[in-house]
A and B are shown apart, each in its own frame.
Chain A
Amino acid sequence: MSDRRDIELIAELVPEGSRVLDLGCGDGELLAHLRDARRCTGYGVEIADANVLACEKRGVNVIQLNLEEGLALFEDQSFDVVLQLDTLQHLRNTETMLRETARVGRTGIVSFPNFAHWPNRLHVAAGRMPVTRVLPYQWYDTPNIRVGTYADFEVLARKDGLRILDAFGIQQGRVVRRWPNLLASVAVFKFERSA
């Protein structure tokens, strides 16, 4: 997700001037982009020391927290947008975090590697776990402890009472709206809590 073009595609989902919380904000590149290009304000949350330092160097607000400990620091609906990009698949409490995202933000945006992208399917059909550009790890050393698909997320969103506002895939810097579960390596969902 660090690809510049991917960041811009996702930034376009964030309204100008939004109050933003970026969970697992990495080195703060997206937050800096949202601040500079879309007048957004807010905070990033990160656990890694190097990323906290990188955010501080960019002048991006960053709060060092372990997301597995939840979002008790943040009040209900206190952000216009809560972003969780390329983060969900690293968390043990995926569903809890998704609910927390919807609690804290008026809208949520998540992205994650789409396990059902066709090359992955071929790998699995051939009897092996996929190792690709988006999923570059071996099964035994991957930080992606939750592997899900575009279609799986639609099911989970329904179960957790999330209304999907927009959804698409990204493949090599391009938006994929036709058969994203098959044709995109990255899944993107924008959602809100159903009333």
Chain B
Amino acid sequence: MADIGDVAPQSMQFAAPLPLASGAQLRDYTLIYETYGTLAADRANAVLVCHALNASHHAAGTHAGEPRSEGWWDNLIGPGKPLDTDRFFVIAVNNPGSCFGSTGPMHPNPDPAAHGRPYGADFPVVTVEDWVDAQARLVDALGIERLAAVIGGSLGGMQALSWSLRYPARIGHCIAIATAPNLSAQNIAFNEVARRAIITDPDFHGGHYYAHGVVPRRGLRVARMIGHITYLSDDAMEAKFGREMRAGSLGYTTQDIEFQIEAYLRHQGDKFSEYFDANTYLLITRALDYFDPARAHGGDLTSTFAAARCRFLLASFTTDWRFAPARSREIVKALVDNRLDVSYAEIDAPHGHDAFLLDDPRYHGVLRARFERIAREVGRA
């Protein structure tokens, strides 16, 4: 297995407005994306990678001159890796509303009334379906009629599922990992706490903090700390930190760090608040909350997936309590009810939700086997 090496993000501008689920439109927008591998002459070997909450178009390879800049799914994507770039043309696109280059709240609002100021809180609320529509336009622009597969984990898995419903004739395989057919009340509750932390930060200024030259960093830190707790399993946290203390003895302080887990969470929060945009965090958590394809079918997931035509691979992790295996099984049941081709791997991994980003050999083995099968189907074996 080799690494991809340096990759360069590309951008594509779209003049036609993107109609959004809310009824609003996204005008004059740009999508940032990366591609790995070579598009075959028959254009049949394209695989779309969908990113989750914190990630971007930079899924694999490195950025020149930036140490430790490996993409977020670099262990999966590359020459000889499970998603083999010697066989597939891989597209990773940054979703609109993000803060990593595609049009988002930090970009100028084209509305004349905004006088060139950033969107800020006025960026339209975007949904998973909106993202999938934006991705489909990019795929169109790249001259690709049909994707060999769409793959994603967590929120990315929701996009993969949405592809199977919105563009059933345009994808061969849907690979949805550590995901759910919708958020539970508990999932939404965690998102809401994160949002309140941001919105009640005095530096938030109703979402127009750019004009004030500040960033609601305290809110972002707390939001990230909460999120991070839900990405790890109880066991993983216990194994990594336990009750380990920073100093050898109790400091009898309520405000300073005593336990290593506190230091870890604060460190994660600090790092995150340096690079992530608060409005984006609000938008993406809301997109998560709203995702519920069965809503238009009276909550019936089976009739929802009657529209799907592709083959499916689902995987979940036993210690993932954010999107527990039972949530994936709901999807599997709906697919089986519709007599669709589906395989489902329930990986007994200790890492919790984060396992979808790691390289457990059972998990990667199943993905490798699926991509080898897809490669045979598109004549790239």
Contact = CB atoms under 8 A, between A and B. Distances in A.
B332 A63 contact: yes
Contacts of B369: 53, 56-57
B342 A43 contact: yes
Nearest to B369: A56
B271 interface: no
- Interface centre among A62, A63, A75, by most chain B C-beta atoms within 10 angstroms, is A63
B343 A73 contact: no
B336 A74 contact: yes
A57 B343 CA distance: 11
B343 A63 contact: yes
A61 B345 contact: no
Given A73-B329, A73-B333, A61 B341 contact: yes
Interface in A46-82: 49, 52-53, 55-57, 59, 61-65, 73-75, 78
B333 A56 contact: no
A52 B345 contact: yes
Nearest to A62: B343
A75 B339 CA distance: 11
Q: How large is the interface on A (under 10, 10 to 19, 20 to 34, 35 or more residues)?
A: 10 to 19
B336 A73 contact: yes
Given A49-B362, A56-B366, A57-B369, A63 B339 contact: no
Contacts of A75: 337
Interface residues of B, number: 22
A19 interface: yes
Contacts of B344: 62-65
Contacts of A43: 336, 342
B370 interface: yes
B362 A63 contact: no
Interface in A129-169: none
B343 A56 contact: yes
B373 interface: yes
A75 B334 CA distance: 10
Nearest to A53: B365
A53 B344 CA distance: 10
B370 A56 contact: yes
Contacts of A64: 344-346
B315 to A, nearest CB: 9
Contacts of B348: 49
A95 B370 CA distance: 35
Nearest to A52: B345
A73 B345 contact: no
A18 interface: no
A63 B337 CA distance: 13
Contacts of B366: 52-53, 56
A39 B347 CA distance: 30
Interface string A21-65: 000000000000000000001010000010011011101011111
Interface in B314-369: 329, 332-333, 336-337, 339, 341-348, 362, 365-366, 369
A63 B347 CA distance: 12
Contacts of A63: 332, 336, 342-344
A101 to B, nearest CB: 16
A61 B333 CA distance: 13
Given A53-B369, A56-B366, A19 B345 contact: no
A19 B341 CA distance: 12
Contact of A55 (B337, B341, B343, B346): B343
A74 B336 CA distance: 7
A38 B336 CA distance: 21
Contacts of A74: 333, 336
B87 to A, nearest CB: 16
Contacts of A62: 343-344
29 contacts: A43-B336, A43-B342, A49-B345, A49-B347, A49-B362, A52-B343, A53-B362, A53-B365, A55-B343, A56-B345, A56-B370, A57-B372, A57-B373, A61-B341, A62-B344, A63-B336, A63-B342, A63-B343, A63-B344, A64-B344, A64-B346, A65-B346, A73-B329, A73-B332, A73-B333, A73-B336, A75-B337, A78-B336, A78-B337
Interface of B: 313, 329, 332-333, 336-337, 339, 341-348, 362, 365-366, 369-370, 372-373
Interface of A: 19, 41, 43, 49, 52-53, 55-57, 59, 61-65, 73-75, 78
Given A64-B346, A65-B329, 8 more contacts: A49-B347, A56-B345, A56-B366, A63-B342, A64-B345, A73-B332, A74-B336, A78-B337
Give the top 5 A-B pairs by smallest Cβ distance, nearest first. A56-B369, A64-B346, A63-B344, A57-B369, A49-B362
